Amino acid sequence: MAEKTQEKLLETGLADSAFLGSHTAMWSSQFFWKFLLTTAGLNLLAVITFAAMFIRASDRALTEENDNRLQSSAILLRTALRSKINDDDPSQVQDIVRSLGKELGLRITLLTSDGSVLADSFYAQAAAIKDAENQKERLEILRAETAIDGYGRSERVSPTQARPMRYFAIRMGDKESPEGFLRVASPASELDARSREAREKIIFGGVIFSILMLGVCIWFGGRTVTAVKSIDHAIQKITSEGPPVKVYLPDRDEFGVLGDHLNRMSVEMGRRIDRLQGDQARLATVLEGMGEGVITVNDEEKILFANPAAGKLLNFDPQESVGRPLLEAVRNHTLHEAVTETISGQNMGSQELEIGENHDRILRASFTRMQGEPCPGIVIVLNDFTDLRRLELLRQEFIANVSHELKTPLSAIKAYAETLQRGAIEDGVHGKRFVERIGEQAERLHQLILDMLHLARVESGKQAFDIHPIAVSPTVESCVDDFSETTQAKKIAISFDPPDEDLFVQADAEGLRHILSNLIDNAVKYTPENGSITVRWRRDDEFVVIDVVDTGIGIAAKDQDRLFERFFRVDKARSRELGGTGLGLSIVKHLTLDFGGQLGVTSQLGMGSTFTIKLPLAEQGHQSEQMQANLKPLV
């Protein structure tokens, strides 16, 4: 029988010290030490708690006993000594007080109503009392003087004895006209000694009780360690090697039944794990390859699963968030409310979520309840609608802006034409002026359409550029000359400030000219009379920096970020009055970026503006022979 048992133990991997050395297993068992330390700790905590309570109660009882002794002595002595306050023989009073103090083991002090010492058992002779301090300001005297019952207590260091004392003072006579005070005192050390003795007894009893309880805990914990160790080895084997694993327990008590259940569970677990691993592998492949985010939460709104796409969309770690509440992992109250409503059955559709610090991302979340009643959880599918919504908003904004920009000149043309039809054409002066206005609005409409077509070609990437080295100086000079008549008419001084060296940029000649023309035109429009415009350029590492500086009206800081957007105007009324289309700076931005450059603006209201573009530097030796030909005006 023993051989069969041993063979079975070896077969299951459990023939170890759990059965062959129960005492060794007990002292090496983590379970045993946890149980022992927990129970011992609770026992120690209980002993300390009750000991502290008993010590506190003992100290309080001893203190009350000492105070009652002082009070009783003072009350008895008041009757005997009250008549001695006005005695003409101080020596006799001192002898009586000293004798009483010696018999009672207390220090007795008799005081007049003004705090002077008449007699004190501490002093051997009455003559020594003359040098005693006035006791009127002592705490116990002050309390006795003001208290309704005439009692006063305190604990302090005695100046004469230089040690802590407990005092009790009693008033003689009425509160309004006291005859004097009687004070009794005992050394605090006596009370401390009695308290220390009581504490030692309580602590000794607590230690004995703790030792007895510790023995009980060791005995009780050792009875279960062997069985727990056996089950522990079986579970470790399941963890390391996987099911099925069998455990053998010789005892047929509750632990034996538990071992049988563990064996059956191990077999069934092995079958289910194999099936689940296959399903999980297939599902993981599908979910990880999805572009949509998928999150599964249970009925307590804790995350069961989240694929990488969901973590990317909602900015959280899918693996670390498993088991955490959804609201804790994803700080979005709209999503939380939708999940709560779906679990309760109030909402089973989809909802849009605005996420991000500025709510600049749009997600479409679809919610599906899992099967079961009550609902065990839901599946959330997330689609990123940000780009689609942004394109929709851009389309709407573009149509609105284009419609508005086309409507303004067309309305003016229509108004002037209707005025001419009604007879103004016969008026030589006004008729000619109206025709000129029609021509101006038509030219503005034509320029707007050209700018829109040019911007569309640049944004689409279909614009063909001939990128080659372009000399900056002649291009700037040509553009400045194009605006000389306009600046003279507005009394604006325009100039350029070339560097000491000839610089070349990698760009398209027509595109560079278009950039400079738009920047100078913008400066001319917003620079008042007697202002100035300067174009300067310089080398900056691998770039050429071109600045267009004006002394115009300036741009507020809040508008500078949107300055290069299509149709954006700081002052719409002024821009339309000056003939601006709102597309010039947007064209500048796209051309500069297409040439591999950068652009920016610095400005202050009333102080002018500086528009800066940085284009890649080109070597002088590679200058195109067609450079001068490319300086012709843009159409």
Lowest mean pLDDT segment, chosen from 3-17, 171-185, 387-401, 545-559: 3-17
**pLDDT of 441 higher than 60:** yes
Q: How confident is the model at residue 407 (pLDDT cuts 50, 70, 90)?
A: low
Q: What is the mean pLDDT of the chain?
A: 77
Q: What's the mean pLDDT in 277-295?
A: 78
Instruction: Indicate whether this model's pTM tops 0.75.
Output: no
* Nearest by Cα to 486 from 515, 437, 525: 525
Quick one: tokens of 141? 């005297």
Mean pLDDT calculated for residue range 172-179: 83
Residue 72 pLDDT level (bands cut at 50, 70, 90): confident
CATH code for the structural domain at 466-631: 3.30.565.10
pLDDT, mean of residues 288-305: 82
- Span 545-563, average pLDDT: 83
What is the residue whose two structure tokens read 């609770």? 42
Confidence at 545, pLDDT banded by 50, 70, 90: very high
Closest CA to 89 of 133, 128, 126: 126
Burial class (CB in 10 A: 0-12, 13-18, 19+), 167: buried
Tokens 């399941």 belong to 238
Domains 1-244 and 466-631 share a fold: no
Domain ranges of the chain: 1-244, 290-384, 390-456, 466-631
Helix (H) or strand (E) holding 494: strand 493-497
The separation between the first and the last C-alpha atoms of the chain, rounded to the nearest angstrom, is 109
As assigned by CATH, the class of the 1-244 domain is: alpha beta
Would you say the C-alpha torsion 246, 250, 251, 252 has a positive or negative sign?
positive
- What does the alpha-carbon distance between residue 134 and residue 117 come to, in Å, rounded to a whole number? 7
Instruction: Count CB-CB contacts under 10 A for residue 64.
Output: 10
Query: pLDDT value at position 574?
Result: 47
Q: How far apart are CA 387 and CA 363, in angstroms?
A: 10
Q: Which two tokens stand for residue 128?
A: 């020594």
**What single letter denotes the amino acid at residue 302?**
K
390-456 folds as Helix Hairpins (1.10.287)
Tell me which of 108-112, 222-226, 398-402 is least confident: 398-402
- For domain 290-384, say whether CATH 3.30.450.20 is its number: yes
Give the model's pLDDT for residue 631: 40
